[in-house]
Amino acid sequence: MDEIYAVNNSVFKTKEVTLDEILANIGNYPLTTISFNSVMEINNTKKVIFAHDKMPIVYADNFFMDQRIDFDRDYYLNNKQELQPKLCEILRKNNSDTFTFQQELYDIELLKAVVENPNITCLLFDGHVLTVEEYEIIKNSNINSVYSNGVAPELRDIHGGILKSNDSEKIIGDYSYNQLQDYDTIIISSPLNDYEIENLKYLKDDAKIKLSNISDFSNVRKILDKCREFNKKLDIILVVQSNEDFNYKNEFNEYIKNNPDFLEQYKDLNIGIGISEEYSLDYYYSHEKRLLDMIEPAKDLSPLEKYIFAYNIVKKLKKYKEADDSSLSRKLYNVMDSEYMVCVGYATLLCDLLTKLGIENKDYSADVDIGLDKVPDDALVLPDDVLTHAAGHARVEYKIVDPKYNVEGYFLADPTWDNVMDSDTYNYSVLSHNEYNGIHRYNFLDFNNSMNCEELFFVNSIDEFYDKVNIWLNKNISKSEKDTKESVNKALENYKIKFKEFMDVLKEVHPNTYEHFNYAYGNLYNMSIVASNTKRFQTRMEKIVKDLQDSRLSAKFKELDDTYSSLVYTTNINVDRYRDLMSLLVKSFKGLDNDVYQIVKKMFDDISEKASKKNNNESVYEANFSEFISFVGEIIVNRVNKQVDGETLLAAIREVQLKAYGVSEENIDEVMDNIIEINKERQKRAFPIRYIVNDDGTRVPIMNENNKFDIESDIIQMSR
């Protein structure tokens, strides 16, 4: 590295001086720092040196350095007895209002000289911990701001005075004294030590404290007791449930159960749930106690049986009814107290009960098709004017691992659509993702919605998973990418045209096949966004086309299939979408499967750390995307379509009737026959099975394989 001497270089405004010269012309030498052997590096190639042995005292006043006297270290130390009195006199007369001591040059005599200067109001110590002796010298002077690299332990509790470093030091979690004085709300998300608890006295008198997910409830009590001791009018909220995590509430409920005095001693404590819900402790626990009592009969059941018990509670709690105030039909405690309940309310209640029973789950909201709502259930052909229409809907995804029934997988529950008050209905209770796709209600890949990846759980194979990954990567288009968005919309319009052309040919070639495919998929050509059934249609129709062996139909299907490929791969992917999708997939496992969540979170965190070391290089996410997505894809594909057959479901329902509802052995067969008959009739309408019968007599299902309640004798068959 090249060395440059500042005094001999015209770029740097420096000159060699003596202390006598400075004293004689003190007004021309404003001074903010004294230092030893200052150097400055430029672009890692040049080292600028200020004072050195041939020029032992240099005064600098330039763009690069503050106004300073720079000493050659050896020169100053060897001549300290002569130099220090003159330097002290300069410090007494200096006309700057701020002064900085460097650690090596500092001593107590120089400090006393600075303190005697009436101009200096701000004092900084570089690399120095302030002592009690130094504080005593400073505190009654004209200096009102002192910054140092820490203070002696005896000075640590001085706040709101001259020790500004104390005021910016973190004293409660991530909060400083200044922030505690300024912020109306502080969030404490980990236990506080005794020093931090004592510092609660610095909170504003009317501040709001949010205690979030602190599992050490003895620490929570210390915080509450100390706030009372300080007699502040604080609004203290204990947040027991985030939007994604229901488990902490279980811990809190267990603590209250084992420490009943908590309810009496802390009546003024508020309980927070989610983003905006707040309740008094009494109100909160009275409702939690009701919920816990609801599931008490299920405590000794197996996991699948526990799920069935909770599901039946939820879907029979009350009839579907919307309120003018939407919170009455959606928020958990409001639903319990009111006559209202809609899909969000059903899903929220089911999530809560399942969590209390130890079953991993999550609210799994999505857009579904409501275009078919007014079409009769027994219609074999859709009217031409039925348009696909997407609307929000809440449901629940959950994980069951139950060796008793050899069940392990991710399943969907939709208690809204099993809402029959006087019967035990389970048609929508234990659905694989594939079965869920058979209820006429498409799930949608919305081009404009980049905040979910639920559609990636609706897959039958790893290839379909990869296809949908590509759709997701290509669909999240920002407003700045107008041309790209237009190309996606153009591809969608082209697919719809080819779909209609294909269906017209199918109608000519084989009317019966057309009718049944049109029943399941006929409104795809009206869609404005991509439905999950699009891929399902492609896969099923490919087999039928081969079986029908019609050249014209085969040609049309090839055109359709090629158009689907263009629909999937339409854009050049911005690499930050790889990061976004990985992040969303990590979040999708939280609550649903904690073991997988921990694994994929670590994978993603490791990738993010690599990216941060390269200044957040987005290419790192792209380079690691394939390995990450294949790992996640295999997990999803292997767990979303592990169907629970009718025999298994009915066996679990039978056990619930016997163990939880107290049905006797003498009456159980009659009870089960009624349950089967009711669900069988509802299944015919909700999941109509359709087959093509081949020439050799084999039957090929073309839609809705869900058949948990034995309706084989009522199957409508197709013959060519």
Task: Tell me what pLDDT residue 612 has.
Answer: 86
Percent of the chain with pLDDT over 70: 89
Residue ranges in 482-593 assigned as alpha helix (H) = 482-509, 511-521, 533-548, 551-568, 576-589
More confident residue, 359 or 368: 359
Are 362 and 590 a contacting pair, CB within 8 Å? yes
Take residue 339 and report the two structure tokens written for it: 């006559």
Task: Tell me what pLDDT residue 483 has.
Answer: 55
CA 141 to chain centre: 52
pLDDT grade for 206, boundaries at 50, 70 and 90 = confident
Task: Tell me what pLDDT residue 619 has.
Answer: 83
Task: Tell me what pLDDT residue 445 has.
Answer: 67
- The string of pLDDT tens digits covering residues 385-400 is 667 777 888 999 999 9
CA dist 295 and 660 (Å) reads 9
pLDDT grade for 246, boundaries at 50, 70 and 90 = low
CA dist 537 and 535 (Å) reads 5
Question: Is residue 362 pLDDT above 70, yes or no?
Answer: yes
* C-alpha to C-alpha distances, 196 to 223, 240, 249, 444, 695, nearest whole angstrom: 9, 22, 25, 50, 80
- Residues contacting 581, CB < 8 A, separation 6+: 453, 469, 472, 473, 625, 629
* C-alpha to C-alpha distances, 618 to 218, 453, 485, 578, 629, nearest whole angstrom: 44, 20, 22, 8, 16
Q: What is the mean pLDDT of the chain?
A: 86
CA dist 254 and 507 (Å) reads 63
pLDDT grade for 720, boundaries at 50, 70 and 90 = very low
| Beta strand ranges found along 589-698 (DSSP E) | 690-693
- The string of pLDDT tens digits covering residues 101-153 is 987 888 899 999 999 999 999 999 988 999 999 999 999 899 999 999 999 99
Q: Which of 536, 591, 534, 531 is nearest to 367 (CA)?
A: 531
CA dist 512 and 509 (Å) reads 9
652-665 average pLDDT score = 96
Task: Tell me what pLDDT residue 84 has.
Answer: 93
Q: Which of 151, 357, 188, 205 is nearest to 272 (CA)?
A: 188
Question: Is residue 688 pLDDT above 90, yes or no?
Answer: no
Q: Of 323-332, 521-530, 683-692, which one has max mean pLDDT?
A: 323-332
Largest CA-CA distance found in the chain, in angstroms, rounded? 116
Question: Is residue 630 pLDDT above 90, yes or no?
Answer: yes
| Beta strand ranges found along 296-406 (DSSP E) | 361-363, 366-369, 390-393, 396-402
CA 353 to chain centre: 22
Q: Which helix (H) or strand (E) is 699 found in, with range?
A: strand 699-703
Take residue 665 and report the two structure tokens written for it: 């052995």
Beta bridge partners of 99: 123
pLDDT grade for 717, boundaries at 50, 70 and 90 = very low
Percent of the chain with pLDDT over 90: 54
Task: Tell me what pLDDT residue 716 has.
Answer: 43
- The string of pLDDT tens digits covering residues 501-549 is 999 999 999 887 887 788 778 777 777 777 777 887 888 888 889 888 9
CA 185 to chain centre: 22
Task: Tell me what pLDDT residue 383 has.
Answer: 60
13-22 average pLDDT score = 90
Q: Which of 555, 452, 548 is nearest to 509 (CA)?
A: 548
Least reliable range by pLDDT among 183-192, 562-571, 576-585:
562-571
| Beta strand ranges found along 354-479 (DSSP E) | 361-363, 366-369, 390-393, 396-402, 407-413, 444-445
Q: Which helix (H) or strand (E) is 126 found in, with range?
A: strand 122-126
Question: Is residue 715 pLDDT above 50, yes or no?
Answer: no
- Residue pointed to by tokens 């012309």: 25
Question: Is residue 382 pLDDT above 60, yes or no?
Answer: no
11-24 average pLDDT score = 88
CA gyration radius, the chain: 37
596-618 average pLDDT score = 89
Count of CB atoms within 10 A of residue 414's CB? 26
- The DSSP result for 348-359, as a single string, is HHHHHHHHHTT-
pLDDT grade for 243, boundaries at 50, 70 and 90 = low
DSSP-assigned letter for residue 100: E
Q: Which of 569, 478, 557 is nearest to 530 (CA)?
A: 569
- The string of pLDDT tens digits covering residues 83-96 is 999 999 999 999 89
Question: Is residue 326 pLDDT above 60, yes or no?
Answer: yes
Are 558 and 566 a contacting pair, CB within 8 Å? no
355-374 average pLDDT score = 83
Question: Is residue 49 pLDDT above 50, yes or no?
Answer: yes
Q: How many residues does the chain have?
A: 720
Least reliable range by pLDDT among 26-35, 135-144, 165-174, 480-489:
480-489
- The string of pLDDT tens digits covering residues 469-506 is 887 887 655 444 555 566 667 778 888 899 999 999 99
Helix, strand, or coil here: 145? Answer: strand
Task: Tell me what pLDDT residue 479 has.
Answer: 44
Domain range list for the chain: 2-120, 169-289, 478-570
646-664 average pLDDT score = 96
Are 186 and 204 a contacting pair, CB within 8 Å? no
Across the beta sheet with 46-49, what order do the strands follow? 2-5, 46-49, 39-42
Task: Tell me what pLDDT residue 267 has.
Answer: 86
Q: Which of 415, 301, 297 is nearest to 363 (CA)?
A: 415
Are 132 and 154 a contacting pair, CB within 8 Å? yes
* C-alpha to C-alpha distances, 153 to 143, 165, 589, 713, nearest whole angstrom: 21, 13, 46, 85
